[in-house]
Structure 1
Amino acid sequence: MHPDHERDLLTMLRNKHLARLLDVFHERLVRHGEPRGRVAIETRMESDALADIIGKQVKEGSTIKLAEVDLLLREKSAFHCSLADAVKLASGKPIIRPKVERERERAARERVVARCFDLLPQLGLSSESYARVVSWMHAGRDSLRRDAGRWREAELLAAVRAVALALHHAPGRNEPPVYLAELANRVTGAGAHGLDAKRPAGTLLLRALEFLYPETASRERRGSSAWRTNLLSEARIARDPVSVRVDTFGLMGDTPYLRELRRAALTRSLNLDDLGQIGSEVRCWNGCVFVAENPTVFTPLFRHLREKHREENHPTLVCTNGNLNLADWTLLEALVSSGAHVYYCGDFDVRGLEIAASLLTRFPEDVSPWRMTADDYVTAVQAEEKKLDPAGLQRMSRYFPGLVHEMSSRGHAADQESLIDLLKRDLNRFVLEGIAPPRQNEPPGGHSVLYSAM
């Protein structure tokens, strides 16, 4: 179209009485991809405005085919353009059908995701880290496509790069934890907050950890603070050195602090910084550590020991206060490394069994459930206890087949608080006779004789 004709046509298209018709034309072209259907002329002003560009008067109240409008613009008007050309000139933007636009956006997002995969070989990842990152990205490819639609390409590439490096630099199972802010400084280039949950890299890191540790992810509501903390803990990433703790009683060790702590028979909450100072020195009494899920069990047990037994004969107790955090894991790893066997007592519900299962998975030869048999459950259960989640319970059947069968048949949870007297009796026997509770896979009624109590 000649520039002069284009200016003249644009002037006519700006007639306010054409606005409704242009909207209709645009909608039909977007829907069908070509001029199809009819349009009604509602007023005389619309008729006159349309006649100015197509050279034909259409009476108000009558209709005209869009194909005819297109033909008249092409062959009869002075402008010799299509209806689509006129509509694009009026709106200042191309006419794109939704299907075409969706396909274009899909292809663009796919190109961005492909670039995310392409950058991985440049990062110097270990073979193990590379495999973990690629597995997560393949499994979460649909999510990455959505991310490519909501974030800029540079943001997504930077976030994937940061997560890949974070997984590469994350500590191994027996290595000291790393702090989130320090890791963010190292891998994001965006400062200490680069891996915060609401930032792209932080969002992707949690998504990657959810893929890598599905059982841990299933224990809390997705997106909750506990869910985030548990996933970071599983990867040995801590928010800071002091915000998580483990409660203890009766620790031993050849340092002035641990000797004095034991002599005073005090409980002590230890954070990651404390454990970093004393972890390699910490020991338990006579090779066993007794772990309680709840402080309501831990408290009567350490009070009983203080009341009934001398300080030098206090067994070592640990309280996890629910799911194990990094401080819990760090202490238990140090104790197991020094030769300890862990006895864990938890509630008879899905959460308690999950915690026990996580310990059995981490330390298969060094952990035994404590008072968590089917018989113990029958002793503890009461009819008014809360109902159990059948699906969650069945996930635990491979760890505790007999117990899960009994719990499923009764359908009620039970608390370890109901067994406190039996737990105290076990500790008394351990102190006075040197006999520990049965270990995992020991014959029924079997007890471990650990030392001669003289």
Structure 2
Amino acid sequence: MSRRVELREYLLSRTALAEVLEAVVKKYHDRNGVSGSVRLSSDEQVTALRRLGCRRLGSGRLHLDDLENALRASPFQCGVVDALEAWSGRPPTTRAGVRGAADAAWACFAERLTGGRSEREGDPVAIWLAEDERYVRGEWERGGENVGRDLLRVADAGRALRPEHDARPLAVFANEVAKDPHALDLDRPARRFFDRLLLALFADAEVALPLRAEGREALLAAAGLAPDDISSDVVVANLEGEGAIPMAMRATGLPLTLPLMTVNALGPVRARFGVAWVVENPPVFRILLGSLADVPPGQRPTLVCTAGQLSVAARKLLDVLVGGGATLRYSGDFDPGGLKIARGLVRRYGEAVRLWRMDAESHARAVQPNAPKPPPGSLRTLRAAFPELCAAVEEHGVAYQESLEEGLVADVLAETDPDRPERAGFM
């Protein structure tokens, strides 16, 4: 039987030593070698160590150099490192060794990412790593093989960018570089890395973290790519302007669902009477639209439906309307989602936004008996913006704007009165 096998059997048979050896493994790791001491917690541990040959145990501590000397003088003729490996079945590690191995592994992967090219050579991935290596390495170390695949995919995408060419749809570009048109969709992990690569490559786009929809769009434009400008849309009725779309609305009185592509191509449009009535829910939009059936098309106020949180198309349209001097009258649900939309509009457009039947009094009229309460903590970040309303929702429950249908319709119909002295100025 070899000395190593004998040593392993000896150490495993001394159950009192298990806790001591675990502490020695940790101390060896933290001290990067055989140094320091560990605390002993029982007479059995002291007895087992004395039998092994350790002498300096009077302080209730085991000094690792004492253990080293005892092991070398024992029949096993080995040191602490050999003993720990025999006991645990694997070599003990040191902090410096682990760090060195991690550094070597990262250096190898970074070499794969850059293909050996440097920042001075203009390699886009090397440029990215020069600015963002700490983040990229951290994500790679935490995410392992899956993140590694995403990073390599983004590296390929970075080298395939052609910002000087006509803009390519992002999905087409993703299919070219990854054989998957959805590889760089917002819900894919690779998109996070791709956005950060673009931030490093196109600093002149003046986009900063945290990224929002407009920032991502600006980065894509700088990179010669185009966002999905079809699936992002907004519903609108009764725009004012000279283009084909406002004229079609005026002629038919019908609303249109406008994709981002169309919003970007609208040209100068305005909100009729200087007010855009913005609602969150499609059913409410339909009720308001129906209430205008007997009003001449040229006298119908501008209505906008966000269908929940604002899409890029909705923001772009409201940007245009506010830029043309419009006031936005927003009405939404009395729940975390509706209040978040309201807060976002106020933050973005400031005094150009006037909340419409969104106060504690309106909530009291809309809330139903035994209304569900909002999830705990869901209104915490909204209290600063709407203290009274959040308190009412937390106490009495959520409510929905459909319960205010009559008042909403009355407000919009009042806007159609040609004798109204200040169409935009009530409530």
Tell me if TM exceeds 0.5: yes
Residue aligned with 1:241, SS: coil
Give the alignment partner of residue 141 of structure 2, picking from 138, 148, 164: 148
**3-state SS, counterpart of residue 379 of structure 2:** helix
In the TM superposition, residue 246 of structure 1 has moved relative to its aligned partner by 0.8
Q: 1:83 offset after TM fit, Å?
A: 9.7
Superposition pairs of residues 55-454 of structure 1, within 5 angstroms: 95-97=91-93, 102-105=98-101, 141=135, 144-148=137-141, 150-151=143-144, 180-181=170-171, 195-196=184-185, 201-204=190-193, 212-213=209-210, 232=213, 235-236=216-217, 240-277=228-265, 279-306=266-293, 308-389=294-375, 391-408=377-394, 410-432=395-417, 433-434=419-420
Deviation of 1:400 (Å) = 2.4
C-alpha displacement of 1:337: 2.1
2:292 match: secondary structure: helix
Residues 113 and 280 of structure 1: CA distance in aligned 2, closer, same or farther (over 3 Å): farther
Map Cα deviations across residues 405-449 of structure 1 (whole Å, 9 max, x no partner): 4334x331111111111111111211114366876xxxxxx55xx
What are the superposed Cα offsets for residues 197-249 of structure 1, whole Å, 9 maximum, x if unpaired? 6766424357999x9449xxxxxxxxxxxxxxxx5467447852211211111
1:347–1:112: structure 2 CA closer, same or farther, 3 Å change rule? farther
Q: Does the 8 A contact of 2:7 with 2:76 survive in 1?
A: no
- Does the C-alpha gap of structure 1 residues 191 and 23 become closer, same or farther in structure 2, counting only changes over 3 Å? farther
- Corresponding residue for 2:53? none
- Measured in 1, the distance between the counterparts of 2:214 and 2:375 equals 25
CA contact (8 A) 1:284 1:316 kept: yes
Q: What secondary structure sits across from 2:288 in the alignment?
A: helix
Alignment deviations for residues 293-342 of structure 1 (CA, whole Å, 9 cap, x no partner) = 00111011001111x31111111111110000111111111222222221
Structure 1 unaligned segments of length 5 or more: list them: 1-11, 39-64, 75-80, 170-176, 215-230, 440-445, 448-454
The CA distance in 2 between the partners of 1:183 and 1:358, in whole Å, is 32
Fraction of identical pairs, as percent: 27
Higher deviation after alignment, 238-247 or 288-297:
238-247
- Contact 2:8–2:83, Cα closer than 8 Å, also in 1: no
Is residue 381–residue 412 contact of structure 1 (8 Å, CA) maintained in 2? Answer: yes
Q: Describe the shift of the 1:361–1:190 C-alpha distance in structure 2 as closer, same or farther (beyond 3 A).
A: farther
Aligned partners of 1:184 and 1:194 also within 8 Å: yes
Q: Which residue of 2 aligns with 1:450?
A: none
CA deviation profile, 1:375-424 (whole Å, cap 9, x unmatched):
2122212223221245332322332233334334x331111111111111
Contact 1:388 / 1:411 at 8 angstroms: preserved in 2?
no
Aligned length: 351
**1:290 offset after TM fit, Å?**
0.6
Name the SS for the 1:388 alignment partner: coil
**Cα distance between partner residues in 1 of 2:149 and 2:301:** 53
Unaligned runs of 5+ in 2: 29-33, 35-44, 49-67, 200-207, 221-225
SS in 2 for 1:376: helix
> What amino acid does structure 1 have at the position aligned with 2:141?
A
Q: Aligned partners of 1:111 and 1:294: how far apart in 2?
A: 52
- Amino acid of the residue matched to residue 285 of structure 2? F
Q: Secondary structure at the match of 1:280?
A: coil
RMSD over aligned CA atoms reads 5.2
Per the normalisation by structure 2, the TM-score is 0.62
Distance verdict in 2 for CA 1:159–1:267, change over 3 Å: same
Q: Judging changes above 3 Å, is the alpha-carbon distance between structure 1 residues 435 and 161 closer, same or farther for their aligned structure 2 residues?
A: farther
**How far 1:288 sits from its partner (Å)?**
1.1
- Equivalent residue for 1:51? none
In the aligned structure 1, how far is the partner of 2:280 from the partner of 2:381?
20
Q: CA offsets, 1:332-363, max 9 Å, x none?
A: 11222222221111011111111011111111
